[in-house]
Amino acid sequence: MSAPLIQLQGVAKRYGSGATELMALKGIDLRVEAGEFVAIMGPSGSGKSTAMNILGCLDTPTAGQYLFKGAHVEVLSRDQRARLRRRFLGFVFQGFNLLARTSAQENVELPLLYRGDGAAARRTAAAAALKAVGLQGWEQHTPAELSGGQQQRVAIARAIVTEPAVVLADEPTGNLDTQRSHEIMGLLMSLNAEHGITVLMVTHEPDMAAWARRMVHFVDGRIARDEANPNPTTAAPPVEPAGHEQG
């Protein structure tokens, strides 16, 4: 059997020591194959965000192993983890995290700038990513000139502009109304199904998790359930032209 894209083996994470010690993760095992769409769920304090930070190379486990494409991530230096993030991972956050006085085009170019790509290559790739999320023609608009749904599309374009193997989405619909949430989930599903991007999404909303093909439930630092979703949500409201968004 070939190695999975992602594998956690006995991963634990401890914060503090003595009386202040907190075990955020208590020896979890998780296997994610390339091309999966996985929802990571659980109440506040369950360990799901800690697991996502480790998967995104933003934190390291106290114990256990994290393998990405068969390579041991837990032994990498900070710089090596940063290079892995730049090459293989894209991030989408609840708060969009866009630069306020910077155009959509420039926001999407940022990961390529950090990677050292030239200006022409950055412009071409950013324009293609914005087109992929339905924002062709909106390249020069700043976040203040975009709706919440449009801002999250810019954030998704920024996440996919490097052609990552994995997109990690942390509550990607948390700041959106129902219709915009469905549009964003439809977009993530399309990126997964049509482009083969593996999607790992943290959410506390069951109706958003229902779009995923697999749901992993965290409770008290452990994986309580890991189950396939045989009937993921597939139908979304029609996406309005970008200029007609209201929310």
| pLDDT given at position 1 | 61
pLDDT(208) > 80: yes
Q: How confident is the model at residue 237 (pLDDT cuts 50, 70, 90)?
A: very low
| pLDDT given at position 2 | 75
Over residues 198-216, the mean pLDDT reads 95
| pLDDT given at position 235 | 57
Average pLDDT, the chain: 91
pTM over 0.75: yes
| pLDDT given at position 94 | 86
pLDDT(164) > 90: yes
pLDDT(158) > 80: yes
| pLDDT given at position 42 | 93
Over residues 222-227, the mean pLDDT reads 97
| pLDDT given at position 131 | 94
| pLDDT given at position 17 | 87
Q: How confident is the model at residue 234 (pLDDT cuts 50, 70, 90)?
A: confident
| pLDDT given at position 18 | 87
pLDDT(245) > 70: no
Question: What share of the chain in percent tops pLDDT 90?
Answer: 82
pLDDT(200) > 50: yes
| pLDDT given at position 175 | 87
3-state secondary structure string across the chain: CCCCCEEEEEEEEEECCHHHCEEEEEEEEEEECCCCEEEEECCCCCCHHHHHHHHCCCCCCCEEEEEECCEECCCCCHHHHHHHHHHHEEEEECCCCCCCCCCHHHHHHHHHHHHCCCHHHHHHHHHHHHHHCCCCCCCCCCHHHCCHHHHHHHHHHHHHCCCCCEEEEECCCCCCCHHHHHHHHHHHHHHHHHHCCEEEEECCCHHHHCCCCEEEEEECCEEEEEEECCCCCCCCCCCCCHHHCCC
Tens of pLDDT, residue by residue over 170-182, are: 999 988 999 989 9
Over residues 130-142, the mean pLDDT reads 94
Say which CATH topology domain 35-61+78-244 has.
Rossmann fold (3.40.50)
Over residues 52-64, the mean pLDDT reads 95
Residue with more model confidence, 236 or 152: 152
Q: Where are the domains of the chain?
A: 35-61+78-244
Tens of pLDDT, residue by residue over 15-57, are: 998 888 999 999 999 999 999 999 999 998 999 999 999 999 9
